[in-house]
Every structure is written in C-alpha cells, then in structure tokens.
Amino acid sequence: MITILTLYTSIVITERLKYRIVGGKSCPSSYNFAVSLVKSEKPYHFCGGSLIKLNWVLTAAHCLTPYLHSYYDLKINAGVSKTFPLGTQQRTPNKLFISDQHNRWTLANDIGLILLNESFIGSQYVKTINLIPRRISGDLLQFCKSGTVLGWGVRNLMHPNEIFLLEKYVYDGDLQCVELPLITDDKCKSLISTFYILHSTLREDVFCALHEIGAKKQGHRIVGGESCSSYYNFAVSLVKPRKTYHFCAGSLIKLNWVLTAAHCLIPYLHRHDSLKVNAGVNKTFLFGVQQRVPNQLFVSDEFNQSSRENDIGLILLSEPFIESQYVKTINLIPRKISGDLVQFCESGTVLGWGVQNVIHPDEDDLYSDTFIFDGDLRCVELPLITNEKCQPLIPLTLRPNVFCALYERGGKDACRGDSGGPFICKGVQIGIVASGYGCASPNAPGLYTRVDRQLNFIENTLQNIETRLDNVKNNFILILVPINYLHIFLFYYIYFQPVILYFNVCRQEVY
C-alpha cells in the first residue's frame, strides 16, 4: 500500500482546520499505520500521523510547531480504534523535526517528523506505510486520480466561514476514511481564491482533492442508495397534515422559499392549508426538526401536466425556517447553459425520501402513492445523457427545458415520492425530479426540469412577491403610525377639551 507525502500533509491541514473527515465511514483494520497525536495533560486527539518506520512518525509541521520546545507534552498512540480509543501502544517523542522552509501562514512545506523514544512493536494493530517512491513532475493527478484520506477529526459539514468556529469535538477513537478525487492545480487555484484559505496561493508542494457536490457521496441509491440525511440539509419533505405522510420533496433556496415540482403543488393550489413543509428530516426526526405551512403556492404558467414541460413550482412559507446544522439553503445554477446540460455536468446527485424498489415501466401504475416512510434521506449519483440519446428511450417528445439522467444497467434512479427533489452538481442545484418510466429499470431514463431554463420564473416570482410584501409592510407602518398617536389625541380631547370649554364660558361671563 502506498501513501502520498503531500496527500498526508493535506490530511493534517484539514484536521487542523477541523474540516474532515466528513462523509466518510469507519476504516478497515488495514489502515493500521495511522497514529493519533494527543496532549499529555488533556489526553485528547488533535492531529494525525503515519508510521513510516516503527520509530518514525510523519505528520504536518503545524501540528508540531507548538511543541518544538516542550515535546514532553506530546504523546503518540498507535493501534487506535473504538475499542482502544487511546491505542494499544503509546510512545513519547525523542525529538521533533519540521522543514526549514515551512511557512505557517501559507502552509507551504507543511511537513514534520517525530523520532520516538522507543520503537512501536509491529502487530496486527500496528504497521508501517511505504511512501511514494519518486517525484512526479507536474500535477499529481497524472499519478493518481483519487485517493483515501484518513483521520479522527470533526465529521460535521461546515461552510468555509465556519471553519474556525468549532474548537471541541467528541473523540471516540473510530478512524474514518473517505475517498476523494484529485483535481488539477489550475482548477484548485480558482476555487481557493474564493475562500480565505492558504492566502489564495497554491504552492507546488501542495495538491488539492475535492468532491465537487460537497460531502462525499454515500453509495448509489435512492433506488439502490444509502443514507445521506446529515449532508444535504437543504432538502425538505412535503407532507399531508391529515394523513401526515411524505408525498413529494423540495429544496430550500431561501429560508422562506421552497423549490419543487409543479405537479406536486397542483392539487393544493386552492387549499394550501392541506400542506406542510418539514425541514431537518432524518431517521430520528421523521417530521423534521422544524415544520412550516405555506403562505402561497406558485406554479409556472407554462406547465404542461401531460408532457411534464416546465414542471416547476415555488412555495412561499408563512414563516421562514431558522438556519441550523440541520437546516440550510442551496444555491442554484447561476446561468443558462446553451445546448445539453451534460456540457456543464457529466453526473450529479439526486436526493429524496421516495420508494426504494426497482419498478418496471409496465408496473408503474400498480404502485400506490403510499409507502413506508422512515425519514432516511437517500442519495444516488446518476450520469446525465444528451437529449438526442434520451429521446428514443421515452414515449413523449423531449423538450429543451428537460434533461435526462440514466444509469444504463438499471438499479439506480429516483422514484415515486422523490418528485420535486433536487438534482445537485458542482455544489449547485441544476434540476428538479419531474417524472420517469418505472424506477431504476435498464435503459429507462428519469426526466428532470432544467433549473437554468427556469431562472427567470424563479427570480421574477421571488422579486414580485417580496416587493409586494415590502409594500404591504410599509403601508401597514403608515397606518400604524397614526394609530399609535390616537391615544394622545383621545387624552387631549377627554382631559383638556372640558378645561378649554370652561375657560371660554368664563370669558363670556366676564364680558
């Protein structure tokens, strides 16, 4: 097994920033070369490392800098697991080394070594790892397209602005690992310039890894998928209050606006009190951590129910959701894409709480819209296909504001109950689950509303309604101000008017 020197540096950087491992899973015991660095006085994990020899640990320079003159405050645990949170073996440093060229501000040459006082003893829990054998010229992507990063750090999804806010976390000894694709330096430079990380300068001794839709994908199902509730916290569930069951999904594009499919809203246009929206839905909170009712429903005037063209709707909530770790918003694709959407995105992730069974197109009408709802949000990654490739596979004429996604062998798809849910690519929503023929059958594509072709509808609706609401609010204030002064007028009239009348009477008597 080979690890990459700069990959490990990147691992520890993200440990320091308390940004990973997110979206990972418990690692197999084969990753027994990983070690945990702990503080002696307060024995909690703060950085990771790897055993390159039984008496040498490779880690990041920034992990060692605070201990260069007090390394007796540092201990190294090997064979760490949930069973042995502090490891099966523990050692102390003999000496610490960091690169002379390390820059603590840019994190350039962020590499360090620990010489141990005593070697670890090789066992089934404690092994060493080999390093990459030679220098690679240019992008490391030529050598490795994706790799595995390991750590015991924070597992919460965080916005870049929140990176430095969390100082403590629960350490349980459970080593996490996640596979991440490498990206080119050019692509990485354009991304890190957006955030206050590494001073927006990418050094040649650093490379980047990124899963573009955010948290690492979890398996391959809605039909055939795995749980992803904690990663996609912008997804909402539409439920019928009387029967309290989920029937459609949506996404929070603002804390008071939900984007969904028109066909989900049509039955409720004149009785929106029969609808509720749940956010923060998971297996623990089946009906969400927050619930709201609609103020108004909107569907596109150009929606065609038979062809599913322009299948898009919006819900204005009576009261905004409160943002939290369970409730966030999602950005939309920022511009219109000419031609097939596959030019922008080759594959994306679709989310939902719907049916998880494979259904042949001929069986589609046999399934009721009721099913067992367990609150477990599912996600599946699906390849996009061109409209030209999709058209022969479906019985209706494909419109340019619809795109298709298909896993050709079957077994992966959105299904009933997923309607209105988001299709995510590159961290933005590009589609809305509209319809399909069966679920997850071979060569049976799913149809999705293109969000980039509906930006005018979304922007105009939000702008018109919010302007109207602002006007109503301002008019209410204008009405309210005189009302607030009414008590002064009444006080004057009741208490001072008789005095004035009496004074006038007295004047008349004098004259």
Active site residues: 263, 311, 419
Question: How many residues appear in the chain?
Answer: 511
Structure token pair of residue 349: 């992730």
Contact, 414 vs 352, CB < 8 A?
Answer: yes
With H, G, I as helix, E, B as strand and everything else as coil, classify residue 507.
helix
What DSSP character marks residue 438?
Answer: S
Under 8 Å CB-to-CB from 245, ≥6 apart: which residues?
A: 239, 370, 373
Tokens of 493: 């009239």
339 sits in the region (left: phi over 0; alpha: psi -120 to 50; else beta) called left
| Torsion angle defined by CA atoms of residues 364, 385, 414 and 379, in that order, rounded to the nearest 10 degrees | 160
Q: If DSSP codes are grouped into helix, strand and coil, which group holds residue 188?
A: helix
**CB neighbours of residue 164 within 10 Å:** 12
Question: Distance between CA 173 and CA 308 in Å, rounded?
Answer: 50
The amino acid sitting at 272 is H
Measure the CA–CA gap between 88 and 86, rounded to whole angstroms: 7
CA 39 to chain centre: 32
Query: Please, which residues have CB within 8 angstroms of residue 65's CB and are 6 or more apart in sequence?
Result: 98, 102, 104
CA atoms of 353 and 441, how far apart (whole Å) = 19
d(CA 275, CA 265): 9
- Helix residue ranges per DSSP H, 361-496: 387-390, 455-491
Locus of tokens 């996009």 = 384
CB atoms within 10 A of CB 147: 20
